[in-house]
């Protein structure tokens, strides 16, 4: 299971402030904490208006990669911002994201093919986010047809079934999980990723919802996610799930984490 750290996201108010005020210390602490917690990639999302985005994203990339050596996940729909950011990254980044929207496929897929980056592909198209599984799978077909025709191997594609908050639709987790099962059956060589914390926007006790949803999603085929890597209980739940599903040889990861104190209540 690959973890993408979610914290450096300009839609979070404190991060938006830090970007606007060029507060490198605040961003660098978020980067170091997530890297130490074991993140495989760090999501960087400038969250700003299109005109500011390239320079804000460049500043974030430079600020983050001067203190950590894990790769970045460049989170932007904007081909111009991604094109600039990819010139200055020190390690091959993940691109977040493409979708079935032609302007994103045309603007971003050539970058992905040229730099051989892993890429997140959203299950949506120019009609927006489909409400049904069938609509989301249709969008995935469009993206996969385009990525294959650009020579991007399926193994480099992380399909995102899309997670909407339960607060506005109590079926939203079911729709995401069913979409995942269909994707897993039809595109077995791709990976699957999601923005886990979206599920709990506007709800109380968010960490609890995120944690249980992660377990259900892993059972449905999720092998990567944008999450809070510092949530120790989330990590404990994940290790336990992987072990129960037979994905932890000799229970090594679980027992190692136990010895390292992950399940120690005091420290949770």
Does 64 bind ligand THG (CB under 6 A)? Our answer is no
Nearest approach, Cβ of residue 195 and ligand THG (Å): 2
Does 198 bind ligand THG (CB under 6 A)? Our answer is yes
Does 228 bind ligand THG (CB under 6 A)? Our answer is yes
Does 160 bind ligand THG (CB under 6 A)? Our answer is yes
SS (H, E, C) the chain: CEEEEEEEECCCHHHHHHHHCCCHHHHHHHHHHHHHCCCCEEEEECCCCCCCHHHHHHHHHHHHHCCCCCCEEEECCCHHHHHHHHHHCCCCCEEEEECCCHHHHHHHHHHHHHHCCCEEEECCECCECCCCHHHHHHHHHHHHHHHHHCCCCHHHEEEECCCCCCCCCCCHHHHHHHHHHHHHHHCCCCEECCEHHHHHCCCCCHHHHHHHHHHHHHHCCCCEEEECCCCHHHHHHHHHHHHHCCCCHHHHHHHHHHHCCCCCHHHC
Does 76 bind ligand THG (CB under 6 A)? Our answer is no
Binding range to ligand THG, per CB under 6 A, among 24-32, 101-109, 193-201, 250-258: 193-201
Does 163 bind ligand THG (CB under 6 A)? Our answer is yes
Does 6 bind ligand THG (CB under 6 A)? Our answer is yes
Does 9 bind ligand THG (CB under 6 A)? Our answer is yes
Q: Minimal CA–CA distance to 163: which of 221, 191, 122?
A: 122
Which CB, 88 or 207, lies closer to ligand THG?
207
Which CB, 44 or 257, lies closer to ligand THG?
44
Query: Closest CB to ligand THG belongs to which residue?
Result: 195
Does 179 bind ligand THG (CB under 6 A)? Our answer is no
Does 224 bind ligand THG (CB under 6 A)? Our answer is no
Does 125 bind ligand THG (CB under 6 A)? Our answer is no
Does 226 bind ligand THG (CB under 6 A)? Our answer is yes
Nearest approach, Cβ of residue 230 and ligand THG (Å): 8
Distance between CA atoms of residues 261 and 268, nearest Å: 9
User: Which residues would be at the binding site for ligand THG (CB under 6 A)?
Assistant: 6, 9, 12, 45, 75, 96-97, 120, 160, 163, 194-195, 197-198, 206, 226, 228
């Amino acid at each position: 299971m690959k973890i993408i750290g979610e914290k450096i996201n300009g839609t979070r108010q404190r991060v938006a402030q830090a970007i606007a005020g060029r507060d490198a210390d605040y961003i660098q602490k978020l980067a170091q904490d997530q890297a130490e917690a074991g993140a495989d990639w760090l999501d960087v999302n400038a969250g700003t208006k299109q005109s500011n985005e390239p320079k804000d994203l460049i500043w974030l990339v430079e600020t983050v990669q001067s203190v950590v050596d894990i790769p970045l996940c460049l989170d932007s729909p904007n081909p111009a911002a991604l094109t600039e950011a990819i010139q200055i990254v020190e390690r091959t980044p993940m691109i977040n994201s493409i979708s079935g929207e032609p302007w994103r496929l045309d603007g971003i897929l050539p970058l992905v093919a040229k730099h051989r980056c892993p890429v997140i592909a959203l299950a949506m198209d120019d009609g927006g986010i489909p409400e049904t599984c069938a609509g989301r799978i249709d969008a995935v077909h469009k993206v996969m047809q385009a990525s294959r025709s650009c020579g991007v191997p399926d193994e480099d594609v992380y399909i995102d079934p899309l997670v909407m908050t339960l607060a506005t639709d109590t079926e939203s987790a079911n729709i995401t999980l069913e979409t995942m099962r269909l994707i897993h059956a039809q595109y077995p060589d791709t990976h699957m990723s999601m923005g886990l914390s979206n599920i709990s926007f506007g709800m109380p006790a968010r960490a609890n919802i995120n944690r249980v949803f992660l377990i259900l999603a892993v059972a449905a085929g999720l092998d990567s996610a944008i999450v809070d890597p510092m949530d120790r209980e989330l990590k404990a739940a994940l290790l336990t799930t992987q072990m129960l599903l037979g994905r932890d040889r000799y229970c090594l990861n679980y027992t190692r984490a136990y010895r390292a104190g992950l399940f120690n209540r005091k420290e949770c």
